[in-house]
A and B are shown apart, each in its own frame.
Chain A
């Protein structure tokens, strides 16, 4: 027993030594660097070098509420399976021409959204989310600052995002939105003249595609009147990790995960965006399948 414990300590000590030597090539097989450098690391942040069991939080109250929540969701799913696809009646699923995906009527709707800004990478922008007047809209406001953080890696800075959380079915399984019967995104917003970007992220099969985001611009007019923005899904272009890709393909609507609004127009100052609802609809006059060319991208000069 004691021999194995000392061996474990020695190997753990060796692993820690290997962890600290991050910038030198790791020649020994017995290193855990590949495990904790698997996920995205924000620049300027130290990698998360905790052991796997240290990352789980063991708590009795959490266990109980988890059981009630997940089994409740499971029961809803089973009952909903008899009602129709995705828990809605079959006729409604087939015949619907428009569907409201996210609306902001009440403070609990804000819990489905996550606000992020470049504060995570060390920047100085601030972003806040609150309910608007009469609890019937949401207001995203704050200040942008495009001074890049001094961590030696980042060059550009000054952005903020409002991203919807991934829908989760029972036991934290991912639930995807099936929007294949629609072809236009309809938003009712009130901005202050700044150009925003809408990012839709879908579920993909390969891990290389996990940062794939389909984006398009949303130009706000400003002013006291509500603005209806209609963007057909064929206009969304593919980008990954912020870089637009050469091989473009159309946004597949059958497994949509999240939608996000981003602001990064390199202008320092306060911003506001009010969103009333986000819906999808069918525009029968729009017959375009994809707005960008899909042929081979290696043209001769």
Chain B
């Protein structure tokens, strides 16, 4: 059975949440109509804590107050705005509860004229906005939402269409990310560093080593000494490359570089070397057992036959490769100062003894740096302190490099 409804809301005077039950009885007697918005109801309820329970309570109180649900459109808009404050914007049960506020069967069109002329447009727009907020936060609606929408708006309404669109596109793009980030990131900074380093390492053989755990010590004099965590990663290939590194050329500790994981930004540091200019490149001696006329054809160790390719098939791109120096190791620390990074280098030296002979530069930018230094920035020796006793040797190299190599 349906009866005429007026969809417009008139605002009533709302008192405290504890007396809301009394309001239900006293409604017909109260005659003063001061302009109070629905937001007030949420503010008053949540004086102590803004939780899902208090939000649900407000919605229930509104639903029970009036069988005709006068002012439900404005109430739902206010509730949608208040959801992030209560922390319930990712909860599908709360959205279903809010959708329950709409009176059922009233807005379903009954005849062809109502179907033609956008029946109850304001309520349909409100339903669409509710679903749009769900879509915005990436929440998948469930079958309860669908049942509610059919009961409230009918099968061919705008909110139902929007629901169908959400249900079509969300599953299509859910697993589109080849490097997925879990929604719940590990809280422990060491675990977070472990996860992000394995993510950027691009090598499944790379091993993560925790060089230092976070510690806060209070010494006898009462000073606080805090040790930030240091987590490093290095793969066997990088170790081999570092072993072949020319000790006359310096290596650089660069950083911090930003890495975004959903909403958190972590910073990592690199140990890398400059690209070798072509005149100093050493030809790699190929093992005669692998390639060449002496290779064994019965037990081949290296097969590079492109048997599936036609003569004209060429997948390479007609472009020069970007010259970049090799990256030898990466790390993430709590504090980005030089002392921590020097400690990292010392610990790296245990597995890579060549680091003891190679001069190490620290290129640290205050604050989060860029992935590459700008083309115009000149390398300033005064800013970067050097680790290692060969000061003059290093300054000569710098002078040679700033003239010779383009930055």
Are A and B a genuine interacting pair, yes or no?
yes
In the assembled complex, how far is the CB of residue B372 from the closest CB belonging to chain A, in whole angstroms? 4
Pair B262/A223 contact, Cβ less than 8 Å: no
Pair B315/A223 contact, Cβ less than 8 Å: no
Q: Is A251 an interface residue (CB 8 A)?
A: no
Query: B323: which A residues are within 8 A, CB to CB?
Result: 134, 136
Q: Is B265 an interface residue (CB 8 A)?
A: yes
Query: A281: which B residues are within 8 A, CB to CB?
Result: 315, 317
**If the complex has contacts A186-B317, A301-B160, are A276 and B322 also in contact, measured as CB distance less than 8 A?**
yes
Query: B177: which A residues are within 8 A, CB to CB?
Result: 195, 217, 219
Q: Is A141 an interface residue (CB 8 A)?
A: yes
A105, closest chain B residue (CB): B320
Residue of A99, A103, A221, A222 ringed by the most chain B CB atoms within 10 A = A222
User: A193's contact among B202, B261, B318, by CB below 8 Å, is which?
Assistant: B261
Query: B201: which A residues are within 8 A, CB to CB?
Result: 223
Pair B312/A221 contact, Cβ less than 8 Å: no
Interface hits, B150-182 → A, CB 8 Å: 150, 155, 160, 164-165, 169, 172-173, 176-179, 181
Query: A219: which B residues are within 8 A, CB to CB?
Result: 176-179
User: A226's contact among B181, B322, B374, by CB below 8 Å, is which?
Assistant: B322
Chain B residues touching A, majority SS:
loop
How many residues of chain B get a CB closer than 8 Å to chain A's CBs? 53
What is the 8 Å Cβ interface bit string for chain B, positions 298-336, against chain A (1 contact, 0 not)? Answer: 000000000000001111111110110001001000000
Pair A301/B155 contact, Cβ less than 8 Å: yes
How many residues of chain A get a CB closer than 8 Å to chain B's CBs? 51
**If the complex has contacts A190-B371, A223-B199, A292-B172, are A137 and B322 also in contact, measured as CB distance less than 8 A?**
yes
Q: Is B342 an interface residue (CB 8 A)?
A: no
User: A134's contact among B173, B199, B370, B406, by CB below 8 Å, is which?
Assistant: B406
Pair A272/B155 contact, Cβ less than 8 Å: no
Q: Is B344 an interface residue (CB 8 A)?
A: no
User: B317's contact among A100, A105, A271, A301, by CB below 8 Å, is which?
Assistant: A100
Pair B375/A134 contact, Cβ less than 8 Å: yes
In the assembled complex, how far is the CB of residue A185 from the closest CB belonging to chain B, in whole angstroms? 12
Complex CA distance for A132 and B371, rounded to whole angstroms = 9
Complex CA distance for A270 and B268, rounded to whole angstroms = 15
Query: B9: which A residues are within 8 A, CB to CB?
Result: none
A residues whose Cβ falls under 8 Å from a Cβ of B: 95, 97-100, 103, 105, 130-137, 139, 141, 156, 186, 190, 192-195, 217, 219-226, 244, 246, 266-267, 269-272, 274, 276-277, 279, 281, 291-292, 299-301
Additional pairs, 13, CB under 8 Å, beyond known A136-B322, A272-B258: A97-B313, A131-B375, A137-B372, A192-B258, A221-B179, A222-B196, A223-B268, A224-B327, A225-B202, A246-B165, A270-B258, A270-B368, A301-B160
B residues whose Cβ falls under 8 Å from a Cβ of A: 136, 146, 150, 155, 160, 164-165, 169, 172-173, 176-179, 181, 196, 199-202, 257-263, 265, 268, 270, 272, 312-320, 322-323, 327, 330, 368, 370-375, 406-407
Q: What are 9 A-B contacts defined by CB distance under 8 Å?
A: A97-B315, A134-B323, A217-B173, A223-B199, A223-B202, A223-B268, A224-B272, A224-B327, A277-B319
